A = this chain, B = another copy of it.
């Protein structure tokens, strides 16, 4: 059984284990005051090409989201997010648990634009309603789509004109930045957003997200918030050392490129068999629509999520590739799907 369920099925890239081994018995300061963390912060600033940013390391995405958003907002301020947003759907109300409403905007492709945001501002008119203050977007989105530079610039301008905080969830940022359709760089994110994070957990780290705070006002006392939310690791170096390894050369991007390449291969071949997709996704998650009968056959050999029901006979599935996805597993999946497609009456293509 080979799994395409997610990009955190395996442990970590071997170079990261080696880095942990190399420094293992060295004594360092606790709580991210060690020399590895200092180095990792400097390295990331260099890679991002900005020095006036603060960087903090977390062990997971939900933790990063809830710590940041609750630190950035006052009690009456709310978040605007797409209906597919991870914080809205899959974080067990973590943001609300810190006291803030998340306003859901219905979108088709996981992506917000300034018109969505404006409509939400227009609907919140006085003190009887929450005050929308932070715009949360994910790049790539939870359904695999990515933002272009022009799109991000439009959102960023709107947010600045309206005194809104722009926060980018980058749990899978590597995949977005290495997509064939991407025209953004790390420096653009630092320039256009108020805070964003570079996801490690889903791109080859054992665990770890690097939060980048760009807006000065949001930086103050941030370590207090990390500690209060239980996110300040005693052996903080474990997080930063991984980012040191991922970014000391192009490892981070190479891992993401591999994940994307595997996803592209799947997309191209599945498409060439005549199947459609729920959504256009140029990153490491794809959502092909397949006949239920074929899905049932595939499930005997592969693990993946059945995403949504399309009609009586067809469903979309989610295939996720990662830094660790084996090319021969992808090829085997394609071969199996081809055989199933030929041998089975393709209900979908008759529609």
Interface residues of A in 207-221 (CB under 8 A from B): 207, 221
Q: Which residues of B contact A202 (CB under 8 A)?
A: 234
Total A residues in contact with B, Cβ cutoff 8 Å: 77
Question: Are B94 and A97 neighbours in the complex by a CB distance under 8 Å?
Answer: no
Interface residues of A in 65-111 (CB under 8 A from B): 65-67, 70-71, 74-76, 78, 89-94, 96-102, 104
Q: Using an 8 Å CB-CB cutoff, how does the interface string of A31-53 with B read, 1 for contact, 0 for none?
A: 10000000000000000000000
Q: Which residues of B contact A61 (CB under 8 A)?
A: 234
Question: Are B128 and A90 neighbours in the complex by a CB distance under 8 Å?
Answer: yes
Please pick, from B11, B26, B97, B129, the residue contacting A235 in the complex, using a CB distance under 8 A: B11
Binds B, one of A17-25, A144-152, A173-181, A263-271: A17-25
Complex Cα distance, B70 from A24, in Å, reads 35
Quick check: is A113 within 8 A (CB to CB) of the other chain?
no
Quick check: is A274 within 8 A (CB to CB) of the other chain?
no
Q: How far is the CB of A315 from chain B (nearest CB, A)?
A: 16
Please pick, from B5, B24, B102, the residue contacting A14 in the complex, using a CB distance under 8 A: B24
Question: Are A228 and B92 neighbours in the complex by a CB distance under 8 Å?
Answer: yes
Question: Are B234 and A89 neighbours in the complex by a CB distance under 8 Å?
Answer: no
Question: Are A21 and B17 neighbours in the complex by a CB distance under 8 Å?
Answer: yes
Q: Which residues of B contact A128 (CB under 8 A)?
A: 31, 90-92, 227
Interface residues of A in 142-178 (CB under 8 A from B): none
Please pick, from B6, B94, B221, B227, the residue contacting A91 in the complex, using a CB distance under 8 A: B227
Judged by DSSP, the binding face of A is: loop
Q: Which residues of B contact A228 (CB under 8 A)?
A: 75-76, 91-94, 97, 130
Complex Cα distance, B66 from A71, in Å, reads 17
Given A17-B17, A67-B230, 5 additional A-B pairs, CB 8 A: A62-B230, A76-B97, A76-B224, A97-B99, A207-B233
Q: How far is the CB of A104 from chain B (nearest CB, A)?
A: 7
Question: Are A10 and B25 neighbours in the complex by a CB distance under 8 Å?
Answer: yes
Question: Are A227 and B21 neighbours in the complex by a CB distance under 8 Å?
Answer: no
With A25-B11, A76-B221, A201-B234 as known contacts, state yes or no: A229 contacts B100, CB within 8 Å: no
In the complex formed, the residue of B with least CB distance to A63 is B230
Question: Are B225 and A75 neighbours in the complex by a CB distance under 8 Å?
Answer: yes
Question: Are B94 and A96 neighbours in the complex by a CB distance under 8 Å?
Answer: no
Q: Which residues of B contact A64 (CB under 8 A)?
A: 230
Q: Which residues of B contact A2 (CB under 8 A)?
A: 27
Please pick, from B60, B91, B230, B324, the residue contacting A233 in the complex, using a CB distance under 8 A: B60
Question: Are B231 and A63 neighbours in the complex by a CB distance under 8 Å?
Answer: yes
